[in-house]
Amino acid sequence: MWRVLVDFPAYRRMFAAQVVALAGTGLATVALGLLAFDLAGDRAAAVVATALTVKMVAYVGAGPVLTAALVRVPRRVVLVGADAVRALAVVALPWVDQVWQVYALIAVLQCASAVFTPAFQAVIPELVDDRGYTGALALSRLAYDLEALASPLLAAALLVVVPFHGLFVLTAAAFGVSAVLVLATALPRNPGDPRRAAASWRVFATDPRLRAVALLDLAAAVVTALVLVDTVVLVRAHLGGTDAGVAVALAFFGAGSMAVAFALGFLVDRFGTRTPMLAGPAVLAAGSAVLAIGWALAPGLTVLGAGWLLLGAGCSLIAAPAGRVLRDAAPEGGLAGVLAARFAISHACFLVTYPLAGWAGGLDPAAVFAGAGAAVAVCGGAAALLWRPKVIEDIGE
């Protein structure tokens, strides 16, 4: 996995840009919660929830449209421009004094992110060879997991010496560094054909692999929403735990995901992409069963940690190898469009699963875990029926 950073200097710079931007995004997430409390007091949770909803709507609605509109624009301009817009939006946040202004700036910020992410992902396969691409996917997943674990700790350390508004400034600086690193990288010229962008959307409806990927993303969204929304309720309300217990439980989820990222090269070399990805829902169902049975018999942080570990591993089995499937299914010159379509579809899943997870927080946890297990099993079974080797061979012919 790490060899890709040595063998491909251009990718190394782009990976550094990703890591820096993710670190900045993590700081902004912490600062946003503090800003919401500063503006709205005890309504801060509602403000943050609305901001996250705005984020998802931007990802689902505006992102694909903007990606298609910018298909003729050189990749470097798209990536650097998106970083510049994100930096300006973030640096303006400390100056707001109305909640609606927060929503407006978050919408601008997330529209730019919805453009940047698919464009960034589309460049990577052209900077590495086939084997290096597996390592690049593993590193990308690892970067997301480390950001989730490390950014709150980094923010806590920085808040000792700077006010929370300073986190927004640091986030803007991170986007600036990302833009500089992109400028320093020689990027392949994009084909720039809008017809290919349209074809890349059609392939999601016609290729059974991509329909299966959409179902697998839904399975991952079910359990990810459960983890992100309900961990605090499970630990604090049901187990009588502390804030540290919440952090430990979330760390188990991240650890499971990171373990798969480290093993991704071996898994793809040994089994290809189909088997690990279809194994993801099976692991998710197993984790849900552990949680449902364990919680019914002896609820505790040990049961929760073991279940969260399996759920993290299952989500990573689905997400980490998906880039290879999308690359193989994309029409010539249409990878960015396929990535944008997947980006929108996967985040649309969260528009459904986040509210459901919030509602489920008031139910019996064992029943919720069992229901989640049933849902991911159905998604996994349907994906396996769609993604049959014989069907894919017929498409290839």
pLDDT digits (tens, 9 = 90+) for 187-238: 877 655 555 555 666 787 788 999 999 999 999 999 998 988 888 888 888 8
The answer to whether 2 and 135 have CB atoms below 8 angstroms apart is yes
pLDDT mean over 364-385: 96
**Quick check: 283 pLDDT over 90?**
yes
The pLDDT confidence band at residue 396, using thresholds 50, 70 and 90, is: very low
Residues of the chain with pLDDT > 90, as a percent, come to 32
Which amino acid, residue 138? A
pLDDT at 341: 82
In the numeric block, which tokens belong to residue 339?
A: 């990535």
**């430990």: which residue's tokens?**
248
**Quick check: 363 pLDDT over 80?**
yes
pLDDT mean over 321-341: 82
Give the chain's mean pLDDT.
85
Rounded Cα–Cα distance for residues 9 and 363 (Å): 51
Rounded Cα–Cα distance for residues 173 and 21 (Å): 9
**Residue 302 parent element (H or E):** helix 301-319
The answer to whether 89 and 51 have CB atoms below 8 angstroms apart is no
Between 46 and 261, name the one with better pLDDT: 261
pLDDT at 197: 57
Which range, 101-115, 147-161, 373-387, has the best average confidence (pLDDT)?
373-387
pLDDT mean over 373-383: 97
pLDDT mean over 147-173: 81
Task: Flag the least confident range among 61-65, 179-183, 235-239.
Answer: 61-65
pLDDT mean over 105-126: 87
Rounded Cα–Cα distance for residues 323 and 187 (Å): 19
Residues of the chain with pLDDT > 70, as a percent, come to 91
Task: Please choose, from the candidates 50, 167, 165, the residue with its C-alpha nearest in 3D space to the C-alpha of residue 96.
Answer: 165
pLDDT mean over 340-365: 86
| Per-residue CA distances from 166 to 225, 258, 317 (Å) | 29, 30, 37
pLDDT at 327: 86
pLDDT mean over 321-347: 83
